[in-house]
Amino acid sequence: MKFRTLVFLSTLFLSFSGSTFAQAPDDCAITLSYFIEPAKSKNYEAALPHYEKVIKECPKASLATYQYAVRMFEYFIDEKKDTSKINDLIEVWNLRLENFPEKTSEGEVLMTIAQLKYDHNMGTKDVQYKAFDDAFKKDPENFTSGKSLYTYFSLAVDLFNEGKMELQDIFSLYDVVISKIDQEKNNLAEKLTPLMDKEEAGTDLSSKEQRAKRVYENNLGVYSTVESSVNGKLGQLADCENLIPFYEKDYENKKDDIDWIKSASNRLDSKECETPLSSKLAVRLHELEPSSTSAYLLGKQAEAEGKASKALEYFTQAVDLEKDNSKKARIYYSLAENYRKKGSYGTARTYYNRMLEVKPSAGMAYYKIGTMYADSADNCGSTVFEKRAMYWLAADMMDKAARVDGTLSSSAKAAANSYRQRAPQKSDIFSEGMAGKTIKFNCWVGGSVRVPNL
């Protein structure tokens, strides 16, 4: 009996002595509940006094500790205007990364902390920029905040204006940021497209699909706004008046630098700068490295010179050589425009659709198809009613353009509204007895449209 008592007391002693280093699981559950329960109810004043004990004695007990702590400190900062809690919020993110690294994106944490410090004017612009730069380079895949992408680029331009960054560095960062925005827009548009197609086919979306559609459209709008803001921040730095002399002065020293020539050519092309330098760069690039890029640029030059057939040859070469979807999209667009301007609408639509296959967020492709449908109204149908019905298809294309590309939203919605005004109205549908009927188009457009029921 004495032996058993001794063993029990020894075990009890070891248990208590161990508690000076870490609480037992049951103890942590109790400690955690004092914080989590009021935090769940958004009673953050009641939760706060228990937070320090949790992170000190049970830092690895639950990921929920840090999830609720973020909400708690954001409440004190945003609602109570208690800026003394900013460092506490930053500490929460660092502790989450330290204690739950497998469930935490390091890049996202660094991005969030960088944005917090910027929003609350902590540190110099140099330090703030480095924080964003480190976060992006550490984990670009999870650097998805539109606000932070803009802040990252905006700080760089501010540093350039202070003479602390080179213009070429600004252009390089711009390409990176715009590419990231494109990537996120494409991911969203890829998810949105089948929902739009389902609606277009006359199938009702489930409530879950409707919610998802709203989220995709909203986020696409956010990224489009960010893209416009980034372009606005770049502003006059990338106007032709600045770009042409900037690249002309370095041409002789850089004419053997393939990356420089590509960058200069692409930027002059994106701004549609009219300069002999563009032709010189295109030819030089084709000499150094015949590629999709050089073929595309030569095609643009031929197009500018009015040599449509030659441009078509180069564009075809370019698309066959290109592997990058973003670059392939612009080549498909050039091919589509080449055929559209020649009146070959069917072939043009084929290339616009190929553009959408590689870049689902390319609202301009939908916009152009809609324009071609509207322009073809008089040639698609045997009656006035059938011809005017083409405007329904044109309006649908404009709706798609507005949904996937916020930068086109205003003009696309206006066009859609205009086309629907030209389409048969209720009185026309009634007088012609066409309600609910299907009209097939035998022109290049093909397909059909279902007349609305009255």
Q: Where are the domains of the chain?
A: 24-104, 137-233, 360-454
Q: What integer is the mean pLDDT of 24-42?
A: 88
State residue 65's pLDDT score: 96
Average of per-residue pLDDT across 68-94 = 96
| Average pLDDT of span 149-167 | 96
For residue 440, what are the β-bridge partners?
448
Token readout for 21 is: 């280093």
The total of other beta-carbon atoms located within 10 Å of residue 173's CB is: 22
Whether the per-residue pLDDT at 20 is higher than 60: the answer is no
Specify whether the CB–CB gap between 86 and 122 falls below 8 A: yes
What mean pLDDT value characterizes the chain? 91
Chain-centre distance for alpha carbon 338 = 28
Residues 164-176 pLDDT 10s: 999 999 999 999 9
End-to-end CA distance of the chain: 94
**What is the distance between the alpha carbons of residues 236 and 222, in angstroms, rounded to a whole number?**
24
Q: What is the pLDDT of residue 9?
A: 37
Model pTM? 0.80
pLDDT of residue 3: 41
**pLDDT value at residue 8:** 38
pLDDT above 90 covers a percentage of the chain that reads 83
From 378, 398, 347, 396, select the one nearest 441 (Cα to Cα): 378
pLDDT at 270: 85
pLDDT at res. 6: 40
pLDDT over 50 at 225, yes or no: yes
- Rounded Cα gap, residues 235 and 400, in angstroms: 29
pLDDT at site 277 = 93
User: Among 3-17, 40-54, 270-284, 430-444, which is the least confidently predicted range?
Assistant: 3-17
pLDDT score recorded for residue 25: 53
Mean pLDDT of 362-372: 97
Residue 16, pLDDT > 50, answer: no
The CA–CA distances, whole Å, from 134 to 111, 127, 154, 189 equal: 9, 11, 16, 29
Confidence bin at 221 (pLDDT 50/70/90): very high
Is the pLDDT at 11 greater than 80? The verdict is no
Would you say residue 188 has pLDDT above 80? yes
* pLDDT at residue 202 in the model: 82
Q: Which pLDDT band, with edges at 50, 70 and 90, does 19 fall under?
A: very low
Matching residue, tokens 């609720």: 68
Q: Counting beta carbons within 10 angstroms of the beta carbon of residue 54, is it exposed (0 to 12), middle (13 to 18) or buried (19 or more)?
A: buried
What's the pLDDT at 37? 95
* 114-136 per-position pLDDT tens digit: 999 999 999 999 999 999 999 99
Is the model's pLDDT at 445 over the cut of 50? yes
CA distance 218 to 419: 25
**433, pLDDT greater than 60:** yes
**3-state DSSP of the chain:** CHHHHHHHHHHHHHHHHHCCCCCCHHHHHHHHHHHHHHHHCCCHHHHHHHHHHHHHHCCCCCCHHHHHHHHHHHHHHHHCCCHHHHHHHHHHHHHHHHHCHHHCCHHHHHHHHHHHHHHCCCCCHHHHHHHHHHHHHHCHHHCCCHHHHHHHHHHHHHHHHCCCCCHHHHHHHHHHHHHHHHHHHHHHHHHHHHHHHHHHCCCCCCHHHHHHHHHHHHHHHHHHHHHHHHHHHHHHHHCHHHHHHHHHCCHHHHCCCHHHHHHHHHHHHHCCCCCHHHHHHHHHHHHHCCCHHHHHHHHHHHHHCCCHHHHHHHHHHHHHHCCCHHHHHHHHHHHHHHHHHCCCHHHHHHHHHHHHHHCCCCHHHHHHHHHHHHHCHHHCCCCHHHHHHHHHHHHHHHHHHHHHCHHHHHHHHHHHHHHHHHCCCHHHHHHHCCCCCEEECCCCCCCEEECCCC
The predicted structure's pLDDT at residue 350: 97
Q: What contacts 92, CB < 8 A, 6 or more positions away?
A: 66, 69, 70, 73
Identify which of 140, 74, 153 has the alpha carbon closest to the alpha carbon of residue 111.
140
Give the model's pLDDT for residue 232. Answer: 94
Question: Residue 26's pLDDT band (boundaries 50, 70, 90)?
Answer: low
